[in-house]
Copies of this chain bind each other. A is one copy, B any other.
């Protein structure tokens, strides 16, 4: 059929046939050897193209059973969590932040599930306001386990935010992320200049390194904020 000499062309041609219903959802597509012959290339590159489509959920593959067009389109969206400064600056706005509070606290009750440290382990608590073009943008509350990140306690957070410092210096092996809505309390209402109880978008993120909790952060976004992604 069409000449194809790179795995990208093979991949794109397979996608085209799926989109145009040459190969229906659920249908078996030709095996690697046959496709290699059709495209005048080695089986290795057919394998690579189909493997990538399988990772993306476009096809499903089983030994002996062959490769099928996936029945359910992949309802997956990859979401990238940016460093706040970079997010602001990428929109052409100026960024600054202000450290409001920095002290040591014991773990609050609501963190017991996410933060598996002894009840009386002191945690570093920081509260930071992030601004975009000098307008309040994100309010950040963070608990950091300084046993896991000893350098953090001494770090000057005036120039670089906790967000940025931890992203670059505290690698993690796993984490959890959640999205939800909160009502503005009195302080947030004042900060963002809305009525108390106003609906604000919020995220929480926990990260850990092996079994050790590193940090837990709650971000509350300015009124009307939307977090977007495309797929």
A binding-site residues for B, Cβ under 8 Å: 18-19, 25, 71-73, 75-83, 167-168, 171-183, 197-202, 210, 224-231
State A154–B219 Cα separation when bound (angstroms): 44
7 shortest A-B CB distances, which residue pairs? A199-B199, A181-B181, A75-B81, A181-B199, A181-B201, A180-B226, A178-B226
Q: Please, which residues of chain B bring their CB within 8 A of the CB of A175?
A: 77, 230-231
> Are B167 and A182 closer than 8 Å at their CB atoms?
no
Given contacts A77-B78, A199-B200, contact A178 B227 (CB under 8 A): yes
Known: A18-B171, A78-B78, A183-B199. 15 other contacts (CB 8 A): A19-B173, A72-B83, A73-B167, A75-B81, A76-B81, A77-B79, A79-B79, A176-B231, A178-B227, A178-B229, A179-B228, A181-B181, A181-B182, A181-B200, A197-B197
Q: Please, which residues of chain B bring their CB within 8 A of the CB of A80?
A: 75-76
17 cross-chain CB contacts under 8 A: A19-B210, A72-B83, A75-B80, A76-B78, A76-B79, A78-B79, A174-B230, A176-B229, A176-B230, A177-B228, A177-B230, A178-B227, A179-B179, A179-B201, A181-B201, A182-B199, A183-B198
State A187–B71 Cα separation when bound (angstroms): 36
Q: Please, which residues of chain B bring their CB within 8 A of the CB of A177?
A: 77, 228-231
State A177–B79 Cα separation when bound (angstroms): 10
State A71–B72 Cα separation when bound (angstroms): 36
Q: What's the nearest-Cβ distance from chain B to residue A106, in Å?
A: 24
State A228–B178 Cα separation when bound (angstroms): 4
Q: Please, which residues of chain B bring their CB within 8 A of the CB of A178?
A: 226-229
> Are A168 and B229 closer than 8 Å at their CB atoms?
no
